[in-house]
Structure 1
Amino acid sequence: MSTLTFDSLNPATGDVVGSHPRHTAADVHEAVERAGEAARWWAALPPAERKRRLLDYKAVLTRHIRELARLIHDETGKPVGDATLEMVLVITHLDWAARHAQKVLGRRRVNPGTIGLNLAATLEYLPLGVVAVIGPWNYPAFTPMGSISYALAAGNAVVFKPSELTPGVGVRLAELFAESVPEQPVFQTVTGLGETGAALAADPRVKKVAFTGSTATAKRVMAACAENLTPLVAECGGKDAFIVDADADVAAAADACLWGALSNAGQTCAGVERVYVADAVYEPFMRELSGLAAKVKAGEDYGPITMPGQLDVIRRHIDDAVKSGRVVTGGSGAVRAPYVDPVIVEDVPEDSPAVREETFGPTITVRRVRDAQEALDLANASAYGLGGTVFSRDARRAAQLARRLRGGMTAINSIISFAGVPALPFGGEGESGFGRIHGADGLREFARAKAVTRQRFPMPGMNITSFRRGPADLERLVRLVTFLHGRRKR
């Protein structure tokens, strides 16, 4: 094992939180080798046994919830309360995955149809083997566990490479798993910088990679996966829109909007970055939003910017927005490293970097629109397509807007609520990536479909799949198909 180490730092204080190995390519390959053996053992366990062990792991995490929340706080700087909420989501998703894996993935009969009347057909989803998870720093437990929990429940072994900014959280998650599954290294964590993750993605024994991070990094991971045709599920961030319709509850919308934009210092892939407000409620909404924002303090209500380099992006977006728009809250002086004060700017052009690019900071651009249709058109013009929000009192209208809002998830009259529903899939389109975690789709994401047919008896009078097939066999088949499918529907 490499003797080189690196430190994780508290971004608010600069204090060292912990030191961790810089695992080399050789270290990673050894971990994958161990995971291969563990995967075979884990997959061979009866589903009920895997469920029992995963539920025990859930109980272990629950007993350590305060410790883990404190560690998340130390490595990210986010308030302990927010870190605790993150761990609650980890626990609820793990519970759902463990309890539903067999129902979603287990063998079931499939109707073979009339042509296959003499067949019995079954479908099941089998484990892939070794799954690599490359996690982010903004939600260092919830986001990677959204892949890890479902991959484990599907019968795979996992090798996890956490962000170099939050390695301690990833290490602890694997250590606590070993308390429930001590026999084999079914869940391992490797630590290091970018080259550690690259070595993991490039290992040909890895059967799938789950990546969360920037679009640019996702493209590099995808290129590494392409060498071995390793499939990839990628969650690459977003530029989520928040639509306020003319009949919206303005107070509730403003409150949700502000939390969605400023919580975790805006470092949320599905957080609010663009706001479109119908003209009829624009003025009262802005009064409510600016009044609430004036009471929110960086360093008290939310933490610092975890990744120092992101401050340059945030500063550039704020400066550009201020030049072309009108400042409501904050402004060019909002960046006080490592903190950024709340920033709200209205009337920013749609081609501005603050509107087109992911900011990942506590900033909001707000635009007045004629109606919800114009808001929808502008919202869907983004290259990103992750989540979004609609506020409207008309349930039918809100549902229509939500369905048409580009992205994998939309919340109505709530904020990011889809992330807290374990049965719902999470993922995006376009620059936001592809594939899904969470829910039944998330379980199937880490499994392979296996279809089996069994002939129960020979089909009388139709020996089709044989060189002994005669013209009469084919004629009977054509007549049958014509009877079943040849009539036009009126």
Structure 2
Amino acid sequence: MADTAQPEVAARSGGSGRPSVLTSHDPRTGEVVGSYAVAGPSDLERAVHSARTVENWWSTAGFGTRKRLLLEWKRIIARRAAQLVEILREETGKPEADAAIEVMLAVENLDWAARNANRALGRRSIASNWLTRNQRASVGYLPLGVIGVLGPWQNPVFTPMGSIAYAMAAGNTVVFKPHEVTSGTGLWLADTWREVAPDRPVLTALTGDDSTAAALCRSGVDKIAYAGPEAEGREVISLCAQTMTPVVIENSGKGAMIVHVDAKLDDAADAAVFGAMANAGQNATGVQRAYVAASVYDQFLGLVTARARALKPGADRRSSYGPMILESQTEVVRKQVRDALARGGRAVVGGLDSIREPYVEPIVLVDVPEESTAITEEGIGPVLIVNKVRDLDDAVTRINDAGRGIAVSVFTRDIAEVEIYAERLRAGVVTVNTATTYASIPALPFGGIGEYGQGHSHGVHGLREFSRTLSIARNRYGEPLGLSSLNRNVRRLRLARTVFRFRHG
């Protein structure tokens, strides 16, 4: 895993050269907000063993019992949301409104998973055909066992809940390793679960650094769900491959927007600026770049420019967004903006002097070449690229070539046409006349394609990610045609072939 020696988390060695304590700091002020143990291999082994001890109880408890307990957990989180919001703000620096929205979205996903698991995973009958009408078949979904969840730093409640809630609702136990800078958030979630089932560690949180995350990948759990940077996602895949552990990967890069000639430009500009700048541009559901039809480009850019210039980052309630949560990500923003400008791009709002740790003021770039790292790499930060395109075909080609396959927003009044183009886009989600709000729909599967993501969270697909299929077929009466025997009746075989030709010939 990548080096974790970030200024936000100071590591103290226990004498063996390996950090034993992580000290977390508020990115807004640098004040210490918590110290946490670095879980070692023995700690991890105990946590996985504990999860195994209750795996059978939880998996056989049934959908009804799991629903009841998960909804009880939901109510505890909702009643104490202000407490969780405060911890979230201390660890990430988010404005209160942003932190509150994140908690609400997480609770909505927990509620949906608990209420819909039976419908999505319960056993149901499957129709037979004319050859097998004597068979009664059904399919159902069973839990995998123990799921390891590696949480991100950008949205440390909402994003991991997209795995935790769905895995638990499907009947799995979970060992959760939150990101080191948001350890307190992860422990709070596990502590509130213990109030629901004190002696049932269905959810366990372990704090630690990248060595802890690597150990979880090697621990023999039944699946790993990871959310975070692409480079670390590849390492998770590599580590899990050593034990043939399947993975769900959600990388942290943002998506793209297309603004067609007939778009409502005010709406598109609002969505573009929100998607690029909200949470200091640290949302995987956000907008990295907008491709705008030439005939409306100047008008759209004017609207975006005015909105971006009005934003003010900071630590008070009136701030538009908060700080960069990881100092290392500030340097990523600097490197990408510098590369875009060096290759001929122009800054129409902000620029390199907008980067004033721990805050990055809004930056809007234009005429950025498609080979710039500001486009080819994951965009994390309050930066929006606005490039001119000839038409929809040109926009689709550029988006597919860049390969950031999570989400594309299309603003147009021609709904019929955009649905045709949507199927040509190599993206997991396509939205029309809206941008990031699709992540608020718990029933909607969330996931990318290609290197961007493997697997899905949310919705029925999210529940089935943490399940295995069990098909059952039973014989109701003797086989009418006697074909499943080496002692076949010639007349019945002739009849079967006649029916076959009639049906399919």
Q: CA deviation at 1:470?
A: 5.4
2:262 is aligned to: 247
1:233 aligns with one of 245, 248, 252: 248
Q: Is the contact made by 1:270 and 1:388 (CA closer than 8 Å) also made in structure 2?
A: no
Give the distance between the partners of 1:228 and 1:473, measured in 2 at CA: 50
SS of 1:188's partner is strand
Q: CA deviation at 1:471?
A: 5.0
Q: CA deviation at 1:479?
A: 3.1
Question: Pairwise mapping of residues 450-489 of structure 1 onto structure 2 (< 5 A)?
Answer: 450-460=470-480, 462-469=481-488, 471-472=490-491, 474-486=493-505
1:69 is aligned to: 85
Q: Is the contact made by 1:138 and 1:306 (CA closer than 8 Å) also made in structure 2?
A: yes
- The percentage of aligned residue pairs carrying the same residue is 42
Question: Pairwise mapping of residues 395-406 of structure 1 onto structure 2 (< 5 A)?
Answer: 395-406=415-426
2:233 aligns with one of 218, 223, 234: 218
1:122 is aligned to: 138
Deviations 1:339-360 (A, max 9, x none): 1111111001111111111120
Give the distance between the partners of 2:370 and 2:241, measured in 1 at CA: 35
Question: Pairwise mapping of residues 328-347 of structure 1 onto structure 2 (< 5 A)?
Answer: 328-347=348-367
With 467-476 and 286-295 compared, the bigger mean Cα shift is at: 467-476
Matched, 1:207 2:222: yes
Q: Structure 1: which amino acid aligns with 2:31?
A: D
Deviations 1:110-132 (A, max 9, x none): 00222210000010001111011
2:112 aligns with one of 83, 87, 96: 96
Give the distance between the partners of 1:383 and 1:443, measured in 2 at CA: 27
1:44 is aligned to: 60
Q: CA deviation at 1:183?
A: 3.3
2:172 aligns with one of 156, 169, 175: 156
SS of 1:143's partner is helix
Deviations 1:193-233 (A, max 9, x none): 011111111112x1111111122211211122112221111
Q: CA deviation at 1:476?
A: 4.0
1:305 aligns with one of 317, 324, 332: 324
Question: Pairwise mapping of residues 285-434 of structure 1 onto structure 2 (< 5 A)?
Answer: 285-299=300-314, 300-323=319-342, 324-434=344-454
Question: Pairwise mapping of residues 253-272 of structure 1 onto structure 2 (< 5 A)?
Answer: 253-272=268-287
SS of 1:381's partner is helix
Q: Structure 1: which amino acid aligns with 2:91?
A: E
Distance 1:463 1:359, change over 3 A: same
Q: Structure 2: which amino acid aligns with 1:330?
A: G
Q: TM-score, normalised by structure 2?
A: 0.93
Q: Is the contact made by 1:131 and 1:208 (CA closer than 8 Å) also made in structure 2?
A: yes
With 380-389 and 160-169 compared, the bigger mean Cα shift is at: 380-389
1:275 is aligned to: 290
Deviations 1:52-89 (A, max 9, x none): 11111111110111111111111011111101000010
Q: TM-score, normalised by structure 1?
A: 0.96
Deviations 1:7-28 (A, max 9, x none): 1211111111111110001111
Q: Is the contact made by 1:239 and 1:382 (CA closer than 8 Å) also made in structure 2?
A: no
SS of 1:166's partner is helix
Q: Structure 2: which amino acid aligns with 1:64?
A: R
SS of 2:285's partner is coil
Q: Is the contact made by 2:253 and 2:379 (CA closer than 8 Å) also made in structure 1?
A: no
Q: Is the contact made by 1:257 and 1:415 (CA closer than 8 Å) also made in structure 2?
A: yes
Query: Gaps (5+ residues) in structure 2?
Result: 1-12, 15-19
Give the distance between the partners of 1:33 and 1:237, measured in 2 at CA: 31
Give the distance between the partners of 2:254 and 2:202, measured in 1 at CA: 36
Q: Structure 2: which amino acid aligns with 1:385?
A: G
Q: Structure 2: which amino acid aligns with 1:344?
A: V
Q: Structure 2: which amino acid aligns with 1:287?
A: G
Deviations 1:12-56 (A, max 9, x none): 111111111100011111100000111111111121111011111
Deviations 1:142-190 (A, max 9, x none): 0000000000100110000110111110110111111122231000001
SS of 2:429's partner is coil
SS of 2:468's partner is strand
Q: CA deviation at 1:284?
A: 1.0
2:467 is aligned to: 447
Q: Is the contact made by 1:402 and 1:412 (CA closer than 8 Å) also made in structure 2?
A: no
Q: Structure 2: which amino acid aligns with 1:95?
A: D
Q: Structure 2: which amino acid aligns with 1:478?
A: R
SS of 1:468's partner is coil
Give the distance between the partners of 1:309 and 1:285, measured in 2 at CA: 32
Q: CA deviation at 1:485?
A: 1.8
Q: Structure 1: which amino acid aligns with 2:244?
A: L
Give the distance between the partners of 2:263 and 2:184, measured in 1 at CA: 43
Q: Structure 2: which amino acid aligns with 1:366?
A: V
Q: CA deviation at 1:399?
A: 3.0
Distance 1:210 1:286, change over 3 A: same
Give the distance between the partners of 1:210 and 1:481, measured in 2 at CA: 46
Q: Is the contact made by 1:239 and 1:356 (CA closer than 8 Å) also made in structure 2?
A: no
2:127 is aligned to: 111
Q: Is the contact made by 2:214 and 2:236 (CA closer than 8 Å) also made in structure 1?
A: yes
Query: Gaps (5+ residues) in structure 1?
Result: none
SS of 1:450's partner is strand
Give the distance between the partners of 1:341 and 1:246, measured in 2 at CA: 30
Q: Is the contact made by 2:225 and 2:248 (CA closer than 8 Å) also made in structure 1?
A: yes
CA RMSD of aligned residues (A): 1.5
Q: Is the contact made by 2:403 and 2:426 (CA closer than 8 Å) also made in structure 1?
A: no
With 11-20 and 444-453 compared, the bigger mean Cα shift is at: 11-20
Q: Structure 1: which amino acid aligns with 2:288?
A: E
Q: Structure 2: which amino acid aligns with 1:128?
A: L
2:24 is aligned to: 8
2:17 is aligned to: none
